[in-house]
Amino acid sequence: MSSATNTKAAAGQFDLAPSILSADFARLGEEIASAEAGGATILHVDVMDGRFVPNITIGLPVVKSLRKATKLELDCHLMIVEPGRYAVEFVEAGADMVSVHVEADAHLNRTLTAIRAAGGKAGVAINPATPLAMLDDALDYADFVLIMSVNPGFGGQRFIGPVLNKVKRLADMIRLRGVDVRIEVDGGIDGSNISDVVAAGARMIVAGSAVFGGGDPTAAARDLIAKGSVWV
Ligand code: DX5
Ligand code: ZN
């Protein structure tokens, strides 16, 4: 590339955040260590309540155990109704980052402010069909936005293509507003599309089945990081 505006992405340009939803829960410690050996820097923890989404997964006791088992940043994605009731407890359990869905919380300012006051990074998660306008004001008190690129509830779903444009529009919004907010994208990301997601502006990439689905999380994480290191 000759243009001065095109520079090869430096190592560490984005964080890879494997979602343990697709890991073998009976061997969770080993699975996490393996992903970390491949370069993962964040661990994504999908908390589902069977109400906001049609699936039930894990909660506070697992986060407490994970906190003792790994030094990776713990990123708790709350797919639950009334997330404001539990968000601070997740920080107290050891989460470094906690995201709550804009569709689930009528009191985003209160919840995000409480997460920060407890010492966590506060995130707003947004479903594929929810307009970005819904989180316009929340950008002033959020540390990150988690854009869903599948409908939340299950791992292993197909990436919803038009979400790429949404990531770009959010990146523009953040730039224009001059706020310090990172973009995380979650759902259906694999070696075929990770470079597009990073190029669109994401700096935290969640991947569940692409990391844990093939039996070698170290190699899978390494491969994703290599494929996501794009010209931007
Ligand atoms: C979906 C979850 C995602 C999911 C990602 O509701 O929020 O984190 O586990 O898994 P993959 O990468 O398999 O889509
Ligand atoms: Zn998630």
Residue 46: active-site member? yes
Q: Which of 127, 186, 189, 205 to mutate to test the pocket of ligand 1 (most atoms within 8 A of CB)?
A: 186
Q: What is the model's pLDDT at position 185?
A: 98
Taking CA atoms, 71 is separated from 21, 68, 96, 141, 230, in Å, by 19, 8, 11, 26, 27
Q: Is 153 in the pocket of ligand 1 (CB under 6 A)?
A: yes
**CA within 13 Å, CB half, 122:** 22
Ligand nearest to the CA of 53: 1
Residue nearest to atom 4 of ligand 1 (CA): 155
Q: Which of 150, 189, 197, 204 to mutate to test the pocket of ligand 1 (most atoms within 8 A of CB)?
A: 150
Q: Is 209 in the pocket of ligand 1 (CB under 6 A)?
A: yes
Please tell me whether residue 128 adopts helix, strand or coil conformation.
Answer: coil
Structure tokens at 220: 């899978």
Give the ligand 1 atom nearest the CA of 44: 8
Q: What is the model's pLDDT at position 230?
A: 73
Q: What is the model's pLDDT at position 6?
A: 37
Q: Is 101 in the pocket of ligand 1 (CB under 6 A)?
A: no
Q: Rounded to an integer, what distance in angstroms lies between the CA atom of residue 228 and that of residue 218?
A: 15
Please tell me whether residue 97 adopts helix, strand or coil conformation.
Answer: strand
Among 15, 143, 186, 190, the active-site one is: 186
Per-residue pLDDT of the chain (232 residues; tens, 9 = 90+): 333 333 444 456 899 999 999 999 999 999 999 999 999 999 999 999 999 999 999 999 999 999 999 999 999 999 999 999 999 999 999 999 999 999 999 999 999 999 999 999 999 999 999 999 999 999 999 999 999 999 999 999 999 999 999 999 999 999 999 999 999 999 999 999 999 999 999 999 999 999 999 999 999 999 999 999 975 5
Amino acid at 171: A
Location of structure tokens 């470079």? 195
Residue nearest to atom 1 of ligand 1 (CA): 152
Q: Is 183 in the pocket of ligand 1 (CB under 6 A)?
A: no
Residue 186: active-site member? yes
Structure tokens at 77: 């994605």
